[in-house]
């Protein structure tokens, strides 16, 4: 079966992605490259379709912080020579729900109007309705589901120790695969169809934060679940449906991602993040310099003993003030202990890594790990006070 492309960056593991994509293309096929024009036209993935079919596709870019669906996703459609049969991978359907200020105070766009859990099978009923297709029956795929569940358990087991070492609650991830049989009409043609979905959800607990500034309220804990669903729709005249499904069931049909594109995407993300970090760093340093000048003027009129006491108090205020600066600029501070270099990353990040060469890798996904994806040896670092001191 063809599967919708999704970045091998966090949420799907490389193992799970490979298992869903297939390995070798069938005979009598044609290939269409789908390019990432933001990266000099590099092929993001190759769409393999039966010979004679017409195919088009685009790389839908990641929407970024504050929007549903942060990573690039492939959207494509293939039609038979007579134009009656089609197979298409739809845009990712995403939604967020949960409790706490992170859910209630974060304005997200591009999300479905769903405010709770939904089974993959029920999601297909929702999709069928939007396609004006009649939902005929569930079409269980227990073997594929069992394989996906085992791969997810294996992936989570590999990271459990690191979460425990950091004393952070490991996010709860789930994956569901579902199929459904549908029927519809295309003019005078009676159509038979199949809907396939992979639905992945991550539930993350944020413990909240006790305020360090007078007058600022504590931040309550949040429990946030992000769900993404990738849907593939097959439709053909009733008499041709079985042959179309058989043709598209060959190994390697559909979208096959390009590992070189994945590496280029990661590197570009690092470059963009670094530029933002530098700008924020310069702003913070200017503010700290201004505070330092005020400190020197105050100290000129004190005794040596008063100066020592005031210096200790200033250090504490500096940490609080720098935290306030980070809060105001929607950023966090990361220090590379091997070099002492301090950098700034987005406040949306939940993990940060350094490589001892002045680079910082930050991600909103707690399972992100640049080792093996980005050149160099990366070490995860805790977030510091805005002035670089440990929390």
| 300-311 pLDDT per residue, tens | 555 555 556 656
CA distance 57 to 34: 6
Q: What confidence tier does 2 reach under pLDDT thresholds 50, 70, 90? A: very low
| Residue carrying the six token digits 């949306």 | 348
Structure tokens at 115: 């405010």
DSSP alpha helices (H): ranges in 175-303?
241-248, 259-299
Q: Which element (helix H / strand E) includes 222?
A: strand 222-237
Q: Which tops the pLDDT comparison, 93 or 271?
A: 93
Give the β-pairing of 351-354 and 379-380.
antiparallel
- pLDDT score for 267: 86
- pLDDT score for 65: 44
Q: Which element (helix H / strand E) includes 108?
A: none
- pLDDT score for 288: 57
- Report the percent of the chain where pLDDT is more than 90: 39
Which residues make Cβ contacts (< 8 Å) with residue 127, sequence separation at least 6? 90, 93, 195, 197, 231, 233
- What does pTM read for this prediction? 0.63
Q: What is the DSSP letter of 21?
A: H
Q: Which tops the pLDDT comparison, 183 or 346?
A: 183
Q: What confidence tier does 27 reach under pLDDT thresholds 50, 70, 90? A: low
Please say if the pLDDT value at position 283 is more than 80. Answer: no
- For 108, phi then psi, to 5°, come to -115, 140
Q: How many CA atoms lie within 13 A of 82 on its CB side?
A: 8
What are 163-208's pLDDT values in tens digits?
A: 888 888 899 999 999 999 999 998 889 999 999 999 999 998 988 7
Give the β-pairing of 341-346 and 29-36.
unpaired
Closest residue by Cα to residue 90 from 261, 255, 262, 265: 255
- pLDDT score for 184: 94
CA distance 112 to 215: 36
| Residue carrying the six token digits 């594109």 | 261
- pLDDT score for 241: 97
> Is the CB of residue 49 less than 8 Å from the CB of residue 30?
yes
DSSP string, 31-77: EEEEEEGGGTTEEEEEEEEETT-EEEEEEE----TTBS--S-EEEEE
Q: Which tops the pLDDT comparison, 66 or 262?
A: 262
In this structure, the number of other CB atoms found within 10 A of the CB of residue 225 comes to 19
Q: Which tops the pLDDT comparison, 273 or 120?
A: 120
Most confidently modeled of 21-30, 53-62, 190-199?
190-199
- pLDDT score for 3: 39
In this structure, the number of other CB atoms found within 10 A of the CB of residue 207 comes to 11
Q: Strand pairing partners for 95? A: 227
- pLDDT score for 189: 93
Lowest average pLDDT, out of 78-92, 119-133, 235-249, 359-373, goes to 359-373
| Residue carrying the six token digits 């350094």 | 354
CA distance 232 to 192: 14
Structure tokens at 178: 């579902």
Q: Which tops the pLDDT comparison, 383 or 327?
A: 383
Lowest average pLDDT, out of 20-24, 41-45, 105-109, 275-279, goes to 20-24
Structure tokens at 24: 């070798």
CA distance 309 to 306: 5
Q: What confidence tier does 277 reach under pLDDT thresholds 50, 70, 90? A: low
Kindly state the average pLDDT of the residues 139-163.
Answer: 92
Averaged pLDDT score across all residues of the chain: 81
What are 69-88's pLDDT values in tens digits?
A: 656 778 999 999 999 999 99
Q: What is the DSSP letter of 371?
A: B
What are 216-254's pLDDT values in tens digits?
A: 777 788 998 989 899 999 999 999 999 999 999 998 999
- pLDDT score for 30: 94
Lowest average pLDDT, out of 13-17, 181-185, 216-220, 260-264, goes to 13-17
3-class SS at 181?
A: strand
Please say if the pLDDT value at position 285 is more than 80. Answer: no
């Amino acid at each position: 079966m063809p599967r919708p492309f999704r970045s091998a960056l966090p949420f799907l593991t490389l193992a799970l992605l490979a298992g869903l994509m297939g390995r070798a293309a069938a005979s009598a096929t044609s290939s269409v490259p789908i390019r990432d024009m933001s990266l000099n036209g590099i092929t993001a993935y190759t769409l393999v379709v039966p010979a004679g079919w017409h195919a088009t596709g685009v790389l839908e870019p990641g929407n970024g912080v504050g929007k549903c669906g942060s990573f690039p996703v492939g959207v494509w459609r293939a039609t038979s020579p007579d134009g009656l049969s089609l197979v298409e991978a739809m845009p990712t359907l995403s939604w967020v729900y949960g409790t706490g200020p992170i859910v209630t105070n974060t304005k997200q766009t591009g999300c479905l109007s769903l405010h709770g859990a939904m089974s993959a099978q029920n999601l297909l009923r929702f999709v069928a309705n939007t396609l004006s297709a009649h939902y005929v029956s569930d079409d269980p795929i227990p073997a594929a589901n069992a394989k996906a569940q085992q791969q997810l358990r294996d992936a989570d087991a590999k990271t459990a120790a690191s979460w425990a070492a950091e004393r952070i609650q490991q996010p709860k991830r789930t994956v569901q695969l579902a199929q459904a049989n549908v029927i519809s009409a295309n003019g005078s043609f009676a159509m038979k169809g199949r809907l396939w979905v992979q639905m992945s959800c991550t539930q993350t607990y944020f413990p909240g934060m006790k305020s360090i500034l007078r007058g600022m309220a504590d931040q309550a804990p949040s429990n946030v679940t992000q769900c993404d669903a990738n849907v593939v729709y097959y439709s053909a005249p009733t008499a041709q449906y079985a042959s179309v499904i058989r043709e598209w069931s060959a190994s390697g049909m559909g979208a096959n991602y390009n590992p070189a594109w994945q590496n280029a995407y990661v590197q570009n993300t690092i470059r963009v993040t670094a530029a933002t970090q530098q700008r924020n760093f310069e702003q913070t340093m200017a503010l700290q310099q201004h505070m330092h000048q005020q400190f020197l003027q105050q100290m000129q009129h004190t005794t040596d003993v008063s100066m020592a006491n005031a210096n200790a108090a200033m250090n504490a205020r500096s940490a609080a003030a720098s935290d306030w600066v980070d809060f105001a600029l929607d950023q966090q501070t990361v220090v590379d202990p091997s070099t002492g270099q301090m950098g700034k990353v987005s406040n949306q990040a939940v993990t940060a890594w350094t490589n001892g060469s002045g680079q910082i890798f930050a991600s909103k996904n707690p399972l992100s790990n640049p080792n093996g994806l980005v050149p160099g040896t990366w070490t995860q670092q805790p977030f510091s006070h805005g002035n670089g001191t440990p929390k």
